[in-house]
Homo-oligomer: A and B are copies of this chain.
Amino acid sequence: MSVTAAPEGPLGIVCGGGSIPFAVADAVARRGRKVVLFPLIGWADAAAVARYPHHWIHVGRLGRFCRLARAEGVRDIVFIGALVRPSLRQLRLDWKTVAAFPRIVRAYRGGDDHLLSGVGRIFEDEGFRLLGAHDVAPDILMPEGPLGRRVPTPRDEADIARGLAVLAALGGYDVGQAAVVADGHILALEAAEGTDRMLARIAELRRDGRVRAPEGVGVLVKAPKHAQDTRYDLPAVGPATIEGAARAGLAGVAIVAGAGVVAEPLRLGRAADEAGLFVVGVAQPGAAA
């Protein structure tokens, strides 16, 4: 499914935190399609939101969202941005959400994929079409090859292959999308803590002498989960990832090409150069060349 310039009404972008929602909005606007943002209260960046047509919404206000989106002529929607699993108690509920409650609770009992796709189906039943960032803004996806000047060494390549393999083994378990591998040794696997905290842990283990690989050895490997529906959740890579990888003493970052979002590839490549790291888009093992 590739939705390009053919305008089918404005695109609704439900925005979580971080800069990626705005990168998507800009990329869609460049392609000539109007966007309407639905920033989530408590998550989206208010200063950035102000540059676009928008309606603030609470996470739990499904009825309000449906009303506003229909009034704007929005049928296609994209969910994007950081959204730490909100507490059920934190949600401000409206009646439509309450009606959908049994399904949301079921979705909550599984992992993140479950949650996202369960909530996604509720929107589809309301007549919306859920698209992925890669459908509406393919130019913000991680390309294959290095973004900066540095490239992986053969040792880094071996670490990348091992990281992709272990993430593939975890694919059926709706668990993290990232691993740190140093000289063949798997140092960390991401689960509920997220990539930034996993990288902070490596930095800490290194300080405490529990990582034996020297500084400059080791790779952060990010891949989409097997079961992952890329309409809901693509791994994002930004300057914070580079900073975290640098503090963790890694050689670089490898992301499966096309399966990660990079808001500003040029800037990211420069940040990697400055930090002395590589950032490289790699093919998923088993994917057609």
Binding site for B on A (CB under 8 A): 84-85, 87-88, 108-112, 162, 165-166, 169-170, 172-176, 180, 183-189, 191-194, 197, 201, 205, 209-212
What are 5 A-B interface contacts by the 8 Å CB criterion? A108-B212, A110-B184, A169-B172, A188-B192, A192-B210
Chain B residues with CB under 8 A of A172 = 169
Q: Is the CB of B193 within 8 A of A191?
A: no
Instruction: Tell me the bound Cα distance from A115 to B92 in angstroms.
Output: 53
Q: A221 → chain B, closest Cβ, in Å?
A: 13
Report copies per complex. 2
Q: A170-B170, A175-B166 are in contact. Are A192 and B184 (CB under 8 A)?
A: no
Neighbouring B residues of A187 by C-beta, 8 Å: 191-192
Q: Which of B85, B110, B186 is the one whose CB lies under 8 Å from A175?
A: B186
> Are A193 and B189 touching (Cβ within 8 A)?
no
Measured CA separation A111–B192 after assembly (Å): 24
Given the known inter-chain contacts A193-B205, A210-B193, please indicate yes or no for A111 contacting B185, CB distance below 8 A. Answer: yes
A186 touches B193 (CB 8 A): no
Report yes or no: B192 in contact with A185, Cβ–Cβ below 8 A. Answer: yes
Report the 4 A-B pairs with minimum CB-CB distance, sorted nearest first.
A189-B189, A187-B192, A175-B186, A166-B173
Q: How far is the CA of A276 from the CA of B110 in the complex (A)?
A: 26
Chain B residues with Cβ below 8 Å from A185 are: 109-112, 174, 192
| Residue of B with least CB distance to A163 | B173
Of the candidates B109, B170, B205, the one whose C-beta lies within 8 Å of that of A184 is B109
CA distance A273 to B172 in the complex (A): 35
Which B residues are in CB contact (< 8 Å) with A210?
Answer: 84-85, 192-194
Q: Separation in Å of the A35 CB from the closest CB of chain B? A: 30
How far is B189's CA from A169's CA once the two chains are assembled, in angstroms?
A: 13
Q: Which of B169, B173, B194 contacts A173 (CB 8 A)?
A: B169
Alpha-carbon separation in the docked complex, A22 to B40 (Å): 57
| B192-A211 in contact (CB<8A) | yes
CB of A192 within 8 A of CB of B166, answer no
B184–A173 touching, CB < 8 Å: no
A188 touches B184 (CB 8 A): no
> Shortest CB–CB separation between residue A161 and chain B, in angstroms?
12
A180–B175 alpha-carbon span in the complex (Å): 11
Closest to A90 in B: B209
- Complex-state Cα separation, A92 to B173, whole angstroms: 43
Given contacts A169-B169, A170-B169, contact A188 B193 (CB under 8 A): yes
